[in-house]
Amino acid sequence: MDERQRAKVKTMLEFYQDLGIEEFYIRRTEIAKAAPRPQRLTPDSADVQTLSTEKRSESRLQPIHASLGSPPVSQHQLGGSPQAAAAPGPAARPMSLFESASTTAPREHETLEEIHADLGECRRCRLASGRHTIVFGQGNPHAELIFVGEGPGADEDAQGIPFVGRAGRLLNRMIELAGMKREDVYICNVVKCRPPNNRTPLPDEIETCSPFLLRQIQAIKPRLVCCLGAPAVKTLLGAKEGITKIRGQFYDFQGTKALPTFHPAYVLRNPREEKILREDFQKIVDFLKSPC
Ligand code: SF4
């Protein structure tokens, strides 16, 4: 690598260090075959080959079940309908952020309060300039179930609480219909500041903000992460396929399970999909009732 590349990588690694991410692992790509074992990278020992955008993009097209460690967990395996066992998983996907970044031992026992304090009055990405309030997340710090949405809307931005607008009311209704209470679960988003005009967060905004989401999930250690909508699915699972195709199936995720489903805002725009959303919530309930 030349000096310019080295400096760029050093800066990036230092940034992730600030976020509490201290280890990066080399993926098993063509270029990494010579060194297939995980290697710890520090700002002073960056291997540009494994971190460059160009090379990372080469490694993205992999079956989701291969990269996540196992195929989607079928309903049959979970004690549900055998038909679901035949449901195909996503065929190919980009690498999720969490496969390139790892928060390990030193962060294992950090609390949500510590993560929140570390986030502070964050201005790490451009979304800071348009927000009123950072929407960190809300709910039970020991929840078995986490909902991850896309980003705060106007109501959330005003109140600093996730899912309080119309979509939030639908989510609350689904939670209650499933026999749970909102205070029993944890709710957060891929990005913590409202994107202008509620646009979809941009990849660099997600990449900057979502390490905090990862730390929140690791602090809570839920049994299930429910990804609400495509940005959450892409961020957490790296899934390339559309939400319609992969929703309602269980995937291995960070030692736990994840289930993608529709974002409530999408269901508000497409009321006929509420039936599907209810079905997915029933799967969540069945999963949580099953033995650990
Ligand atoms: S979206 Fe996340 S990274 Fe960007 S400013 Fe807000 S809290 Fe910071």
Q: Is 209 in the pocket of ligand 1 (CB under 6 A)?
A: yes
Strand partners, 189: 149
Q: Is 239 in the pocket of ligand 1 (CB under 6 A)?
A: no
Strand partners, 138: 187
Let me know: does 72 contact 65? Beta carbons within 8 Å: yes
Q: What number does the ligand 1 atom closest to the CA of 151 have?
A: 1
Calpha distance 211→15 (Å, rounded): 11
pLDDT tens-digit series, residues 179-227: 999 999 999 999 999 999 999 999 999 999 999 999 999 999 999 999 9
pLDDT tens-digit series, residues 234-248: 999 998 889 999 999
pLDDT tens-digit series, residues 5-22: 777 777 666 655 544 455
pLDDT tens-digit series, residues 52-82: 333 333 333 232 333 333 334 333 333 333 3
SS3 content of the chain, % helix, strand, coil (to 5): 45, 10, 40
Strand partners, 251: 258
Let me know: does 5 contact 48? Beta carbons within 8 Å: yes
Structure tokens belonging to residue 137:
């997340």
Calpha distance 87→234 (Å, rounded): 19
Lowest mean pLDDT, pick from 27-31, 85-89, 159-163, 227-231: 85-89
Mean pLDDT, residues 122-146 taken together: 98
Alpha helices by DSSP H, 188-291: 203-220, 230-237, 243-246, 264-269, 274-289
Which of 118, 123, 132, 135, when mutated, tests ligand 1's pocket best, judged by the most ligand atoms within 8 Å of its CB? 123
